Structure 1
């Protein structure tokens, strides 16, 4: 049984469907990327998966039971969410910000600090430990926020099976840190975490995902491996733009090249 199961998710606002009959399954250790044009319903899907947005139809199960059956503390110990926008003006240091994630746990200050430092090292932000958050660049803030949600569910022994939901975490990152972030998220998934993340860069989806969900106007247009989803025909249908898809010269994965 998949760790996360979502079936027939439908979300409407003012009688307008934002999501219509969307389903997916994610195994522990698996990274699923969600792609699609602006307004396709990617962020709505993530908020529906974590229970932040009410569904008009469908259900979400975590470990075979409804996610909403988890107590608030157990949910915080097993499910971490990073939205697109994380406004914060309070002058926390980088380490203090990441340490907020350990509140649901009872692992003690020393172990919590070690976990936060490990998560920060994974995102290359240990040098920001004593820097004040509002003084940092957008990319530095984004990497600290990602370290925070990863530290929240860092250890399986703290809460068991774990789920990480990320909404466009590459926003504000330069190219080196984008790919560093993608490697960190993939490696974190391999530690036994089910990860669902929305991305705009198709190279990220192709290079690091186990499966890809393509959304268009709230509908699931395709769901499967990168090779089956990232075809020239699908991309044309999804974005209305002509592309050529070729094998990556090093990895063999699907490489989407815009026809200029």
Structure 2
């Protein structure tokens, strides 16, 4: 049974459709990557799913019920969202920032700190626990922010199956931390979390996703596993740029190369 069902969702702003007639089902334990060019509607789709953008048509069901019926506390304990931009100038330490996510829960200070440190370890940021957030690099801040939203829905015993929405979480990360982040997110999904994330790097989508949703002008152009979606024909249509797709010699996954 799908944990999240997006049914015929349309979002319009000033008579312009940013997302049109999108359907999406995702089960707990799955990682779905959303790809597409700039302005394709990726961020709008995530905002529509979590209730930040009003729907002009369709509905979003979480555990079989409309997502807007969840109380604020129930939503915060089961659904975590990481937007593209997370401005913060207050001098929190790394641990204090991550600990903000535990407010929806009543698990106690000791358990909350344990969860925060576990989430930070998963993103390799435990050494930043005592550092002041404004003094950190963009990549370090991004990894702390991801640890924060993971800590928010860390335990299945608190909320059961959960949903994590990530909007371009690889921004500001070097190549090593991009891949480590994807490993951590996929491992987190396997613990009973449905994860939907937008990415621009097709290698990340190919290497780690269970399924890929390709958006073009707000519509679903393709949806399925990497071999189905990441074809030369699909990607050339999606981005308006010629590519060649070969098989990765180690992973066997599709590898996208730009044509000269």
Q: Please, what TM-score do these two structures have when normalized by structure 1?
A: 0.99
Counterpart secondary structure, 1:12: strand
CA deviation vs aligned residue, 1:140-170 (integer Å, no higher than 9, x gap): 0000000000000000111111000000000
Q: Which whole-Å CA distance do the structure 1 matches of 2:213 and 2:140 have between them? A: 28
Q: How does 1:211-250 map to 2 (within 5 A)?
A: 211-250=211-250
CA deviation vs aligned residue, 1:78-135 (integer Å, no higher than 9, x gap): 0000000000000000000000000000110000000000000000000000000000
Residue 14 of structure 2 corresponds to: 14
Counterpart secondary structure, 2:140: helix
CA RMSD of aligned residues (A): 0.4
Q: Which whole-Å CA distance do the structure 2 matches of 1:7 and 1:171 have between them? A: 29
Superposition deviation, residue 254 in structure 1: 0.6
CA deviation vs aligned residue, 1:162-213 (integer Å, no higher than 9, x gap): 0000000000000000000000000000111000000000000000000000
Q: Which whole-Å CA distance do the structure 1 matches of 2:241 and 2:180 have between them? A: 28
Q: Which whole-Å CA distance do the structure 2 matches of 1:230 and 1:202 have between them? A: 8
Does the alignment pair 1:186 with 2:186? yes
Residue 129 of structure 2 corresponds to: 129
Residue 205 of structure 1 corresponds to: 205
Give the paired residue count: 260
Residue 50 of structure 1 corresponds to: 50
Q: Which whole-Å CA distance do the structure 1 matches of 2:56 and 2:72 have between them? A: 22
Q: Which whole-Å CA distance do the structure 1 matches of 2:211 and 2:59 have between them? A: 21
Q: Which whole-Å CA distance do the structure 2 matches of 1:52 and 1:13 have between them? A: 13
Structure 1 stretches lacking a partner, 5+ long: none
Counterpart secondary structure, 1:151: helix
Q: Which whole-Å CA distance do the structure 2 matches of 1:25 and 1:210 have between them? A: 12
Residue 99 of structure 1 corresponds to: 99
Does the alignment pair 1:41 with 2:41? yes
Does the alignment pair 1:177 with 2:177? yes
Structure 2 stretches lacking a partner, 5+ long: none
Residue 159 of structure 1 corresponds to: 159
Counterpart secondary structure, 1:29: coil
Counterpart secondary structure, 2:197: strand
Does the alignment pair 1:114 with 2:114? yes
Counterpart secondary structure, 2:186: helix
Q: Which whole-Å CA distance do the structure 2 matches of 1:44 and 1:206 have between them? A: 22
Q: Which whole-Å CA distance do the structure 2 matches of 1:51 and 1:192 have between them? A: 22
Q: Which whole-Å CA distance do the structure 1 matches of 2:219 and 2:128 have between them? A: 41
Q: Please, what TM-score do these two structures have when normalized by structure 2?
A: 0.99
Residue 77 of structure 2 corresponds to: 77
Q: Which whole-Å CA distance do the structure 1 matches of 2:258 and 2:180 have between them? A: 24
